[in-house]
Amino acid sequence: MDNTIAFTGLTKSFGRLPVLRQVGTTIGSGQVVGLFGRNGAGKTTLMRILYGMIGPDAGQASLLGLDPQAHPVEVRQRVGLVSEECHLYPWMDANALETFLAPLYPKWDRELFRRHLASMEVPPDRRVDALSRGTKRKLMLSLALAAQPEVLLLDEPLGGLDAVVREQIVTTLIHSLTDHGVTIFLSTHEIEQFAKVCDRVIILSHGGFLVDRETAALTDQVRRVTATLEHPVEAVPAHPQILSARAHGTQVEFVLNGFTQETADAILANWKVREVAVSGLTLPEIFIAFTAGKEEVS
Amino acid sequence: MKTLIMKELREHALHLGLFIAAGVASVLMLAWFNQFDHETVLTLLFLFEAPLFTIMLGGHLVGAEVRTNTFPFLAALPLSRSAIWWGKAVAGLAICLTVYAAFAGLAWTAGIPELLLDFGMGNQTGGAEPWFQLRGYPFLTAGILLFGLPMALFAAAYWGTMLPNGLPVLETLVAVVALWLLWSGQALSALHLPLALGLLTIVFLASSWLTFRRGELMTGWRRAWWAIGSLAVGLGCAGLLWGALDGLADRRLPKGEMKELRVTDDGTSVLCAVETQAEWFDPLQGMGLRPWSTTDPDRTAHSRLLRLDPATGRFHQVGRRGLVCPEPSPDGKTLAAVALTSWPGLRTTPRLVLADPVTGDIRRVIDTNASPKGFLPDGRLLYERYVPGGGDLITTELCVYEPGSGSRGLFAIQQDRGGGLFPLALTCLDAVMVYTPDRAEPLLVALSTGRTASLPLPVFLHSPYQDEKLAILTAYNQPFHLVRPGAAPRVLTGLATDTEFLGRLPDGRLLVVMNATTTVDGFDLEGRVLGTFDADAGTCRPLAAFRNLRLNAMNTSLSGDGRTLLASMNSPGPGEAFLLDLETGRRQTVNLPTRSIRHLQPAGRRAFAVSFYEDLWRVDADTGAATRLVAVPSPF
């Protein structure tokens, strides 16, 4: 699998505030990778660096084999970006935007743009400032898709969208794009919505990657252990693989990263256990387990 | 980039329409209030509204995108930063051009005659001045008004739009400085505007380009540092470049027209005032679009002062360009002049200075708004000072500067629009003769006391000859008047008006060239001969020793020691000059160029300076050798 997106050692600070610290990974063609993090974790900054809008303090990035800092135009002609930070010109309508943008993209498809507008119910002749927030987002998505990108960077793509369109985008659109080999790197707080389409999950916290794993492996390796004890306990002892833990009377519960039965047994050996149950976690639960109690600074 | 330009044009179409509507409205208002004269209309449109629109537009191009949060969208498009910067700049300039064209059309349709709409770019029918010259902006030219000024204002505003919104003080400061430069005639005329505006435009554009490239999403404070820092560095470099260009232009001598020649009494120093046309500085003039320029610190031309090095026979510029009205002291060791400019080519109030005649280094500033009228034989300097008195009234004061004791005023008069006193120093009386418009005869002002007395003489006399014993005064085609200490002025009725006074002979007699009848081959012929002047009788007598020497149609000069006469034909024919030893009668031929002599004068005791229209020669009184000192080719 080729490395459609690759970055290594990316570091970025705004003034004295570090936002990214030495992050790096590779993403292959056709993959859908979710970038999750709390507010201020650095997701948007990472997206902007990958798109060449801002430069890193250190490290290198590559999209489709091109350095976005050195070749921003070539990268952007082949990579689409939908970001909540990008505001469309309020005085333009969809037709004017297409007139403005079409000459900039060599693979711009007018029919495709019309189809997306129709399917997402975006009026082509209404000024942007007269559109709802969700409709603006749909218009932005239509514009990005009309350029037929090989890579799509989505920064909070579902913000302001209703449930129907969310479902439409997540199930239909993303599957359709990946079928055509489009690589998608998305950052979102809508973890549950995207859980079913993400091949990989990256959790970003305090400027570093806490998790960078295949979704299936992640859900397989992070398990919740619930035990009923003979005697009540005050707390769960610290262990490097425990992400979160709770003790209430004779009930203890902890989430184990890199779950193995041996590890769970070793932790439970501290008490006289009456009953044990091991269960899986949803992706949002895994995210919370990894990031709860770790405030981001923005 | 084309699609970006089209987007900008569409985005600002409304602003364009509003501004043209504002132009129409202002013209209609002028008509409504009966102020519809062409000067007011054109001033309002081209000196106020169009520059204001230029500033507003330049400041809107990037700033509006940042304010409305559309800049990240623009920055995310497959356009390089340079393409965005250029696209916005080109679109902005195109819109400005449209405004200027629309305003010109508006003025024309509003009834401004085409002649008065002429910005000076074309032929000046009937010698008509462009309206902005009539309006009192002599520092403006068409190129500055229609190109230099809008470009500089646009560049400054475009640079200002790179700053964060939190810097209104800085933006206001830039706007105030821009408006002050626009409206302050004194500030503008102090600079060489085409050069200054060109450098400012380049610096602002370069700084904004650098800031735009480095500004990422144009939200951080780092862009402010880039903008201000790069502007400071750019202005510093521009200043150095200004100085270098000015210095380079300053040394482009001596191409120009010789205006004035001065030879010190001891003959060791020859000073030459040269005017160079201003095409070096003025691109419009260089392109032939403007026959003259009023935007230089030296105004219409660059005045230079050259000094001949007697050792090498080469001319060197004395001081910087802009040292004018030279008056060498009798001993040749001091130079009085008016300094128009200061480094680096910036115009200051004209200063009367004493300078080193070799280097031009200013030793002392004597006065401001003053011009030298000549040194007296004892080293005192006579000069006029001009003091504005409100309105068109200007006080002209005659002053004398004495080394060691400073300046003092002798006589003053207040006149409408000023005017000179036409002072004529009379050494023999230790006084100065001046003229005032309210008197039919000149006034005599004592140099020592400042006391005045009327002189029973006609006005506007000049002195063809004077020394410490007497002064001969006359006006064109008028009889001579003799002035001597202790005696009333006397009209020399017995003296022909074409008598030439050459100087004193070693025996004290005054040598003249006079009309006399001489006998040649038995025929009595009227001709010009050498003679001597008897001051007591007021008559001249031919010199018997040279009664056969006819000097008809010749320029003549007596050497400083009174022993040798140089005479030359004043005609385009072959060289007819000769030296005559007045003691021995020996005659020696001198070869001079075959051109008309402009001026002939003694240079020290044993030499002559002969100036033609384009060069200067030195003739040695002993050997008769003629040497060309300098060639001053005409710029035309």
CA-closest candidate to residue A288, choices A178, A173, A211, A225 = A211
Q: What pLDDT, on a 0 to 100 scale, did the predictor assign at position B131?
A: 64
DSSP characters over A144-198: HHHT--SEEEEESTTTT--HHHHHIIIIIIHHHHHHTT-EEEEE-S-HHHHHTT-
Q: Which of A79-83, B182-186, B215-219 has the lowest mean pLDDT?
A: B182-186
Out of B2, B69, B80, the one facing A87 most closely (by C-beta) is: B69
Q: What pLDDT, on a 0 to 100 scale, did the predictor assign at position A272?
A: 87
Chosen for mutation from B1, B2, B3, B214 (greatest number of chain A CBs closer than 10 Å) is B3
Strands (E), chain A: 3-14, 17-28, 32-37, 58-63, 79-83, 151-155, 183-187, 200-205, 208-214, 222-229, 242-248, 251-257, 273-280
Find chain A residues with C-beta within 8 A of B77's C-beta: 76, 101, 104
Radius of gyration of chain B measured on its C-alpha atoms: 32
Which backbone phi and psi does A138 adopt, to 5 degrees?
-70, -40
Q: What pLDDT, on a 0 to 100 scale, did the predictor assign at position A295?
A: 46
- Kindly provide the ipTM of the predicted complex, given to two decimals: 0.87
Dump pLDDT digits (tens) for A179-195: 788 899 999 888 888 88
Q: What pLDDT, on a 0 to 100 scale, did the predictor assign at position A11?
A: 93
Dump pLDDT digits (tens) for B535-547: 888 889 998 888 8
Q: B439 Cβ partners below 8 Å, 6+ apart?
A: B454, B459
HEC string for B25-62: HHHHHHHHCCCCCHHHHHHHHHHHHHHHHHHHHHHHCC
CA-closest candidate to residue B177, choices B193, B157, B163 = B157
Percent of chain B with pLDDT over 70: 77
Q: Which domains does chain A have, with CATH numbers?
A: 3-206 (3.40.50.300), 218-293 (3.30.70)
Q: What letter would DSSP give residue A122?
A: -
Q: A297 Cβ partners below 8 Å, 6+ apart?
A: A17, A40
Out of B73, B217, B220, the one facing A87 most closely (by C-beta) is: B73
Which of A212-226, B28-42, B254-268, B591-605 ranks highest by mean pLDDT?
A: A212-226
Find chain B residues with C-beta within 8 A of A133's C-beta: none
The tokens describing A60, both together, are 């290198």
Chosen for mutation from B77, B216, B218 (greatest number of chain A CBs closer than 10 Å) is B77
> From A51, which residue of chain B is nearest by alpha-carbon distance?
B76
Find chain A residues with C-beta within 8 A of B7's C-beta: 89, 100
Which A residues, 252 through 281, put their C-beta within 8 Å of a C-beta on chain B?
none
Cβ <8 Å between A100 and B75: no
More confident residue, B583 or B614: B583
Q: Which of A137-146, A271-280, B580-589, B592-601 has the lowest mean pLDDT?
A: B592-601
* Number of neighbouring beta carbons within 10 Å of residue A297: 10
Q: Which of B166-180, B193-207, B412-426 has the lowest mean pLDDT?
A: B166-180
Q: In the predicted model, what is the mean pLDDT of residues A134-150?
A: 89
Find chain B residues with C-beta within 8 A of A77's C-beta: 78
Out of A86, A89, A105, the one facing B76 most closely (by C-beta) is: A86
> From B220, which residue of chain A is nearest by alpha-carbon distance?
A14
CA-closest candidate to residue A212, choices A26, A83, A28 = A26
Q: Are B505 and B582 in contact (CB under 8 A)?
A: yes
Cβ <8 Å between A86 and B72: yes
Q: What pLDDT, on a 0 to 100 scale, did the predictor assign at position A297?
A: 45
Q: What pLDDT, on a 0 to 100 scale, did the predictor assign at position A244?
A: 84
Long-range (24+ apart) CB contacts under 8 A made by B108-111 are: B110/B27, B110/B31, B110/B36, B110/B41, B111/B36
Q: Which of A38-42, A279-283, B316-320 has the lowest mean pLDDT?
A: B316-320
Q: Which of A43-52, A185-194, B17-26 has the lowest mean pLDDT?
A: A185-194
Q: What pLDDT, on a 0 to 100 scale, did the predictor assign at position A94?
A: 93
Cβ <8 Å between A104 and B7: no
Residue B413 has pLDDT above 50, yes or no: yes
Cβ <8 Å between A89 and B220: no
Total CB pairs under 8 A between chain A and B: 58
Q: Is A152's Cβ below 8 Å from some Cβ in B? A: no
Provide the β-strand partners of residue B466.
B471
Dump pLDDT digits (tens) for B326-364: 888 877 788 898 888 776 666 677 899 999 888 888 999
**For the CA atoms of B103, B105, B111, B115, what is the dihedral angle to 10 degrees?**
100
Q: Is A76's Cβ below 8 Å from some Cβ in B? A: yes
Q: What pLDDT, on a 0 to 100 scale, did the predictor assign at position B634?
A: 46
Per the prediction, chain A carries an average pLDDT of 87
- The confidence band for B602, taking pLDDT boundaries of 50, 70 and 90, is confident
Q: What pLDDT, on a 0 to 100 scale, did the predictor assign at position B121?
A: 44
CA-closest candidate to residue B161, choices B198, B124, B98, B205 = B205
- The confidence band for B226, taking pLDDT boundaries of 50, 70 and 90, is confident
Rounded to a whole number, what is the distance in Å from the CA of B161 to chain A's nearest CA? Answer: 19
Q: Is A22's Cβ below 8 Å from some Cβ in B? A: no
Cβ <8 Å between A76 and B72: no
Q: In the predicted model, what is the mean pLDDT of residues A60-76?
A: 92
Cβ <8 Å between B76 and A73: no
Beta strands B577-581 and B587-590: pairing type? antiparallel
Q: Which of B98-112, B501-515, B548-562 has the lowest mean pLDDT?
A: B98-112
Q: What pLDDT, on a 0 to 100 scale, did the predictor assign at position B432?
A: 93
* Number of neighbouring beta carbons within 10 Å of residue B583: 12
Cβ <8 Å between B70 and A88: yes
User: d(Cα A114, Cα A124) in Å, to the nearest integer?
Assistant: 8
Q: What pLDDT, on a 0 to 100 scale, did the predictor assign at position B580?
A: 93
Residue A119 buriedness (CB in 10 A; 0-12 / 13-18 / 19+)? middle
Cβ <8 Å between B3 and A105: no
Q: Are B458 and B475 in contact (CB under 8 A)?
A: yes
Dump pLDDT digits (tens) for B80-136: 989 999 999 999 999 999 998 898 888 877 766 655 555 544 444 444 556 666 666
Percent of chain B with pLDDT over 90: 23
Find chain B residues with C-beta within 8 A of A88's C-beta: 70, 73
Q: Is A32's Cβ below 8 Å from some Cβ in B? A: no
Rounded to a whole number, what is the distance in Å from the CA of B217 to chain A's nearest CA? Answer: 7
Beta strands A151-155 and A79-83: pairing type? parallel
Residue B243 has pLDDT above 80, yes or no: no
- pTM of the shown model: 0.72
Q: Are B380 and B292 in contact (CB under 8 A)?
A: no
Cβ <8 Å between A103 and B216: no
Out of B76, B80, B217, the one facing A81 most closely (by C-beta) is: B76
Chosen for mutation from A13, A64, A73, A78 (greatest number of chain B CBs closer than 10 Å) is A73
Cβ <8 Å between A51 and B76: yes
Rounded to a whole number, what is the distance in Å from the CA of B106 to chain A's nearest CA? Answer: 29
Biggest CA-to-CA distance, chain A? 73
Rounded to a whole number, what is the distance in Å from the CA of A73 to chain B's nearest CA? Answer: 4
Q: What pLDDT, on a 0 to 100 scale, did the predictor assign at position B249?
A: 66
Q: In the predicted model, what is the mean pLDDT of residues A243-250?
A: 85
Q: What pLDDT, on a 0 to 100 scale, did the predictor assign at position A93?
A: 92
Q: What pLDDT, on a 0 to 100 scale, did the predictor assign at position B124?
A: 44
Rounded to a whole number, what is the distance in Å from the CA of A10 to chain B's nearest CA? Answer: 17
Q: Is A54's Cβ below 8 Å from some Cβ in B? A: yes
Q: Is A73's Cβ below 8 Å from some Cβ in B? A: yes
User: d(Cα A32, Cα A35) in Å, to the nearest integer?
Assistant: 10
